[in-house]
C-alpha cells in the first residue's frame, strides 16, 4: 500500500503540476496573442494614418491644381477683355483724330453759314461790314 499511496500522491502532484503548467502556458499564449493583436492593431492604425495623409495630400494637390486652372482661366478672360478694351480705345482715338469735316462734307457748308458757329468778334465784323454797305 505504501507504493500505491506514493503512486497516488505522485499522480496527484503530477496532475497539479500539469494543471499549473497548463495554466501558465495558456496564459502566455493568451498574452502573446494579445500582444500580437495590439501590434497588428497599431500597424493597421499607422497604415490608416499614412493612407489618410496621402489622401489628404492628394486632395490638397487637386484643390491647388483646380485653383491654378481657375486662376489661369480668369487671367485669360481678363486679358481678352483688356485687349478688347484697348482695341475699342484705339478705334475711338482713330475716330477722334480724323477730321470730323472730312466725314461729312455737307456739315462744312452748314458750319460756315450758321451764325451759331461763328465767334462773337466775327459777328461784329460782319455786322460792321453790313452797316457800312447800307450807308
Cα 42 to Cα 5, 32, 45, 48, 53: the distances in Å are 55, 15, 5, 10, 16
pLDDT for 90-111, tens place per residue?
999 999 988 765 555 555 444 4
The pLDDT of 15-24, averaged and rounded, is 95
User: What percent of the chain is modeled with pLDDT above 70?
Assistant: 73
Q: What is the tens place of the pLDDT at every residue in 62-95?
A: 999 999 999 999 999 999 999 999 999 999 999 9
Average pLDDT, the chain: 84
**Confidence at residue 99, expressed as pLDDT on a 0 to 100 scale:** 74
- Contacts with 100 (C-beta within 8 Å, 6 or more apart), sequence order: 107
Q: What are phi and psi of 104, to 5 degrees?
A: -130, 95
**Least confident range of 38-42, 73-77, 111-115:** 111-115
**b/e for 8-47, b at 16 or more Cβ within 10 A?**
eeeeeeeeeeeeeeeeeeeeeeeeeeeeeeeeeeeeeeee
Interacting residues of 123 by C-beta distance below 8 A, sequence separation 6+: 115
101 closest CA partner among 90, 112, 114: 112
pLDDT of 11 reads 92
**What number of other Cβ atoms are within 10 A of residue 65's Cβ?**
10
Tell me what pLDDT residue 30 has. Answer: 95
Whether the pLDDT of residue 135 is over 50: the answer is no
Q: Name the helix (H) or strand (E) containing 94.
A: helix 2-97
Kindly report the pTM of this predicted structure.
0.45
Amino acid at each position: 500500500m505504501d507504493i500505491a499511496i506514493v503512486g497516488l500522491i505522485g499522480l496527484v502532484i503530477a496532475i497539479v503540476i500539469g494543471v499549473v503548467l497548463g495554466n501558465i502556458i495558456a496564459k502566455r499564449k493568451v498574452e502573446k496573442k494579445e500582444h500580437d493583436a495590439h501590434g497588428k492593431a497599431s500597424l493597421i492604425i499607422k497604415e490608416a494614418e499614412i493612407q489618410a495623409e496621402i489622401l489628404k495630400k492628394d486632395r490638397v494637390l487637386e484643390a491647388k491644381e483646380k485653383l491654378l486652372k481657375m486662376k489661369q482661366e480668369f487671367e485669360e478672360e481678363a486679358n481678352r477683355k483688356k485687349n478688347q478694351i484697348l482695341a475699342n480705345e484705339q478705334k475711338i482715338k482713330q475716330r477722334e483724330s480724323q477730321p470730323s469735316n472730312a466725314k461729312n462734307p455737307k456739315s462744312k457748308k452748314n458750319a460756315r453759314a450758321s451764325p451759331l458757329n461763328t465767334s462773337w468778334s466775327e459777328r461784329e465784323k460782319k455786322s460792321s461790314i453790313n452797316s457800312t454797305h447800307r450807308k
